Chains A and B, each alone.
Chain A
């Protein structure tokens, strides 16, 4: 079965520019996540979708970051305008089921998009 697809794999932009990342989860997966992983750190959840609804975006810097998951399938994450500290790998992941209580779901990660902001 195909894994989680992400594009682009690499992106270099200057600060104050805009950038968008795309993610196509595994077919049939209801839950989709976007993470930011800064070098040397663990992934930090930015936003989590259940189908096309947001279940958590508490750590998303909403003044510059936005995300959508139209039709409950693929998703885009946008940064506008970018700052130097946004340099990181942006990981998309998906899970088959939907959250039940506090039981974590097995997550399948895509290869990530490495963003460099100059």
Chain B
């Protein structure tokens, strides 16, 4: 079935360092979403990207959608301990309305 692949699986950073997670699909995605899940919490919506090559910023977070709409990235500048959690990308499934989540990238930030 369709999959949305995320790398890396885990990332340990020192507070203040940058962090990037990547999301890749074998098929073209009409749109993509990013969610954050804090440890013990539930996913919280961050952003949705629709246009080819789109770049959106939210404070220290920068989201990109690839030109071919097969990949996306989330970059955090100068990480803080509050950025700890798992970041998921999600894309539409083929032939239906379902949402396919990636396995997520878990971010650890050391103070």
Contact = CB atoms under 8 A, between A and B. Distances in A.
Interface of A: 33, 40-45, 48, 55-56, 58-59, 91, 93, 99, 101-104, 106-112
Interface centre among A33, A48, A107 (most CB of B within 10 A): A107
B43 A48 contact: no
B56 to A, nearest CB: 14
Interface in B76-111: 88, 90-93, 96-104
Interface of B: 30-33, 35, 41-45, 48, 50, 88, 90-93, 96-104
A41 B102 CA distance: 8
A64 B90 CA distance: 27
A82 B44 CA distance: 29
A48 B30 contact: no
A102 B30 CA distance: 7
Contact of A48 (B42, B50, B97): B97
